Structure 1
Amino acid sequence: MARLSLPTTARLSPSLRVDPANNTVIKTLNRLSRSSLLSLVLDWLDERNQYLCPPLLRRPEAPDEDDEDDFYPPAESLEELRGLYESMQARKGGRREVVDRILEGDWRYGLSLYQLAMADLQYLYDHPGSLKWTAYRIQQLKTPAHEDDAEGPERTDKESLTVPRFHPSTFLQNLQAEVLPDVKAHYNFDRPKDMPLLLLRIFIIDSPYNTDLAVSTRHRGRPGSNGSSKSPTTSFDASRTIYIAFPDASPHIYISKSATGGAASSAGAAGEAKSLRALIVEGIPKALSRPRERYTLKGTNLTTKNISTMLAVKGAGRTNAAGGGWSIYAGTGTSDLKTDSPLQTLLPTPPLSDASNTDTDKPDTDSRKRRRPTSDPTDVEDEKQAKQARLAAQARFGNSAKVDDGKGIERLDVLIEDPFPTDVANFSDEDESEVQDRAALLSRNSSKGRRSTLNLSTMLDNQENVDDNRAGRSGERDRKGWAPQVRVSFHGSHVFAGIRQLVEAGIIDGEKMPGWMTGEEGVTIGAVRNGRIKGFKGSGL
């Protein structure tokens, strides 16, 4: 009688072995460097990991003739195998040598899901900018006072400072209940050495089984002349990987963009990855919630590949809401905690203040004696303007937005909604008609072409005040005049450091520059209204 298989929501065991000939396994190992790969193998050979990463060892009763034709004969003990890989660390060589030794020698019967998770995490630590992260804020929902309120839309308690308690095993049990039964997931927690956060790797494959059938190799026929050509395929062809970062003592979480494990990605796979990510985003607050204590996730409009920037802007440190020039009050050193606190009676002297200008404007008699008199007055004026530009940059950016601080943001998208500044008294009828024609042309072209990453202003509105805000903005635009659709996009390895350099060079006026260009709002996408940016209320406080 055939065995009956039923769909289950149980997760995949970390000890399940994957065929070493699988393309995903080969790709995962080949993208690591030789040194990282050898360090990873030594971690696999640790005594604590032998239950999940056992290598192939020679049996004591096995005859010696069995190893004569073996290119990679099995070692007799773990100590011998560790010495072999340590000797490979001491000498030079190629990565191909280590990969072949792993797949065709010591782990020829397959690598476990735990080993693949360790290799994937190792690549993430070697290349911190390989993933794109989005920050979400955990907010508590209001408990309905009456039964009639329970049927209406859920509302967040913006005054609550409650942070949910996080227990890894309980969280995984609750999250697994939200996963569909036709997909199976493997979870792996890890804590980076140099970051105050906990990483959760979720590896999902399309399979109704949670046994070896989920990762076993099967054959499918390719269309050909005789139809007999077959190629091995597994559920890994449609696998997806998502990372969730839980920073310590912070009401935020970071979710990575879903990565497809297959060799080729199509539009259908991208749509499935997006829907899978949406499912995870919906399941996380349910897994964190408890009876009479419900939570939800709110987007913070902060997306970047630099997770260190996430920790600085949406973490638990003092720089969480002190960007730009306010960073002088958010020192991270031990001495800064005592001297740069706003609670101290003696506060640090901000740049461009009366005290700082007094100190900088004092004549230096020694330097004046050594300096040669300048005959060209333009050089003196240029030097003075350059000094003022540097002081303005220091005042607006403080200790932030430096090229070597490791907290760069790659992209900043801003939608300007303020009306176009015009002088009504000196505005002729011809100019007015020309402006109206341009406005009509822009409105017709706005619906054509590729959709921008910046949606209209309703994207950033609270759901409760959408109608009121629309009516108020439309009436305000009618009174103030024409408001062109201007989208500003900054690209680079460190956007705000580049803006600071432009201020220091005198290209951007640091005194008239808006605050959102200094990064003090902590968002990467937003809309400017009345000179202020709106992106989940700036820092989210």
Structure 2
Amino acid sequence: MAPISIPTSSRLPSSLRLEATNPIVSKTLSRLSRPSLISIVLDWLDENNQALSAPYLVDTDEEDYPEDGLYPPASSVGELREIYSDLQARKGSKREVVDRIIEGDWRDGLSLYQLAMVDLQYLYDHPTSQKWSAYRIVPLRTPSSSTEAEAHPKVNKESLTVPRFHPSTFLQQLQAQVLPDVKAHYNFDRHKSLPILILRIFILDSPYNTDLAATRHGGDRISANSDSSRTVYIAFPDASPHIFISKSQTVGPAASGESKSLRSLIVEGIPKALSRPRERYTLKSTSLSTRNLTELIHRRGSGRTNAAGGGWSVYADPKKKVSPLNTVLPTPPASEGDDGVGTGAKEVEFSRKRAVSPATEREERAAKRAKRVAQARFGDTAKVDDGKGVERVDIVIEDPFRMETRRETAPDHGNLTFPRSSDGEGSDGERDRPRESRAGRRSNVQEILNQERDEDDIDQEVEVPEGRWRPNVRLTFHGTHVFAGIRQLVEQGVIDGERMPGWMTGEEGVTIGAVRHGRIRGHKGSGI
């Protein structure tokens, strides 16, 4: 008779084991490198973790002790520590360690706690393996009447309250609000180097709409379907009203629509889990997505840098103690007579300058000026080796363009006109918004911008004046460190740093945005 899966609204215990033959176990272990895998096994063998990661042990004095086999079982935890310490000291293949875990020392299966340790170790070894999105926790207005209670709740922009966070209470509320009929395992872990608390959610699909995604075998083991498992990470930075949510990842093949719907449920359930009676919250996107957690902490953490980007970063450094309100003029550079250089050295320097051609001197002067401009626009940010890179920036330009130009600007060509759109979007009702493609998949950037436009209380649609048109212009920057690359282009003179808009320096702290009149819509910008 086939085993029966009983749905439960409670979270799965950490001591529950997955069978060693399950594909999830082998795929999860194979992701780690050999040194990291052996280090994790030694952590499993620690005395504090024996309740959740006990290995398979036998008594050597028994008559039925299995001495044959490729991996005979050990008799004590200390013996296993010596075995894996020897494996750590010598060279070998990773497959040898994985086979010994699955077929030998943990042949009864791995607990959900052990799998969580492996996943988190992989996250620490590969910091850019997850794509994170930053959300801000904002309070909602308390309705004062029944009419306001029935209407859509509005954000209370004047309130500065921050919700209290207790891990156990948060997990209970999250399980009840988001996943009442889904089997999931939760595991909190403190990041080793960053001031954040990471919550790992390992989700198995509901047995109501799948073919027994998780089925119990006995009292402490389950067999899970690898195609239905999901893993989502939620990071809580210290002393910050922001939350970082990773993109849902699957161990096996799965539909992308299911992952998106699962992530949307989590985004909707987190503020409900943080809310209390007469104290409601919601999550608002900050238009910042990246694979670099260090950049998220820098932009949305508890420090002063989340409000001072680009050239303003010099005021956020507590060591320099520089204030924009300081009216003291900078100290002028030392004169030539005070630099301590002798007369003979001055004559040599003067003769060297006489030998340089005027064109070369102009190029050197322009290069020095470009570097000074880059230092003024970017400050101490956007450096290649700072470890705070953003991989992708998507910008939509919503500025209107002139239909006609004056004859003085182009005397040889007369009046220049830009072509109107050929799809009938020349009416007044269609000019005030960017065009969207008629066929094909809708851009994710445009979808996010439309969502922000709907959530904003202020109507930001501006009519396009007569004689102008608005093309559909989108800019996408790719690279390991986008803003560092823009800074290098400014230093090389490719980009005019003096006329460059402020959002190109990264001071807005967004990776998705719409530019109107030189400013990022919905954010404080310096403009052009």
TM-score class, shorter: 0.7 to 0.9
How far apart are residue 71 of structure 1 and its match? 1.7
Contact preservation (8 Å) 1:207, 1:235: no
Which of 234, 240, 244 is the equivalent residue of 1:250?
Answer: 240
Contact preservation (8 Å) 1:245, 1:254: yes
Pair 483,368 (structure 1): closer, same or farther in 2 beyond 3 Å: farther
List runs of 5+ in structure 1 lacking aligned partners.
Answer: 219-231, 332-336, 348-353
TM alignment of 1:111-510, pairs within 5 A: 111-208=110-207, 214-215=214-215, 234-262=224-252, 264-265=253-254, 269-331=255-317, 337-342=318-323, 355=330, 358-359=332-333, 369-371=347-349, 372=352, 373-421=354-402, 424-426=405-407, 431=415, 434-436=418-420, 446-455=437-446, 458-461=450-453, 463=455, 465=457, 468-470=459-461, 473-474=462-463, 477-479=464-466, 481-510=468-497
User: Residue type matched to 1:326 in 2?
Assistant: W
Q: Secondary structure at the match of 2:394?
A: strand
Contact preservation (8 Å) 1:525, 1:535: no
Distance 2:423 2:487 in 1: 33
Contact preservation (8 Å) 1:412, 1:524: yes
> Could you say which residue in structure 2 is the equivalent of 1:25?
25
List runs of 5+ in structure 2 lacking aligned partners.
Answer: 427-433
Pair 249,375 (structure 1): closer, same or farther in 2 beyond 3 Å: closer
Pair 40,241 (structure 1): closer, same or farther in 2 beyond 3 Å: same
Distance 2:29 2:421 in 1: 59
Distance 1:169 1:90 in 2: 40
Q: Secondary structure at the match of 1:509?
A: coil
Distance 1:205 1:464 in 2: 36
Pair 239,368 (structure 1): closer, same or farther in 2 beyond 3 Å: farther
Larger helix percent: 1
How far apart are residue 180 of structure 1 and its match? 3.6
Distance 2:364 2:238 in 1: 47
How far apart are residue 20 of structure 1 and its match? 1.2
Contact preservation (8 Å) 1:392, 1:511: yes
Contact preservation (8 Å) 2:213, 2:225: no
> Could you say which residue in structure 2 is the equivalent of 1:226?
none
How far apart are residue 285 of structure 1 and its match? 0.4
How far apart are residue 431 of structure 1 and its match? 4.7
Distance 1:323 1:361 in 2: 34
User: Residue type matched to 1:114 in 2?
Assistant: Y
User: Residue type matched to 2:499 in 1?
Assistant: K
Distance 1:374 1:94 in 2: 63
Q: Secondary structure at the match of 2:136?
A: strand
User: Residue type matched to 2:506 in 1?
Assistant: G
How far apart are residue 538 of structure 1 and its match? 6.4
How far apart are residue 182 of structure 1 and its match? 3.5
Distance 2:524 2:251 in 1: 37
Pair 360,529 (structure 1): closer, same or farther in 2 beyond 3 Å: farther
Please say which of residues 381-390 and 94-103 is displaced more in the overlay: 94-103
How far apart are residue 452 of structure 1 and its match? 2.8
Contact preservation (8 Å) 2:403, 2:416: no
How far apart are residue 483 of structure 1 and its match? 2.1
Contact preservation (8 Å) 1:75, 1:81: yes
Which of 515, 518, 524 is the equivalent residue of 1:531?
Answer: 518
Deviations 1:261-319 (A, max 9, x none): 21x23xxx211111111111111001101111111000010000001000000110121
How far apart are residue 5 of structure 1 and its match? 6.9
User: Residue type matched to 2:445 in 1?
Assistant: L
Deviations 1:410-432 (A, max 9, x none): 01111111122576432899855
> Could you say which residue in structure 2 is the equivalent of 1:222?
none
> Could you say which residue in structure 2 is the equivalent of 1:10?
10
Distance 2:62 2:51 in 1: 23
Distance 2:97 2:161 in 1: 50
Contact preservation (8 Å) 2:405, 2:416: no
User: Residue type matched to 1:339 in 2?
Assistant: K
How far apart are residue 534 of structure 1 and its match? 1.5
Distance 1:343 1:445 in 2: 43
Q: Does 1:515 align with 2:505?
A: no
How far apart are residue 512 of structure 1 and its match? 0.5
Percentage of matched positions with identical amino acids = 57
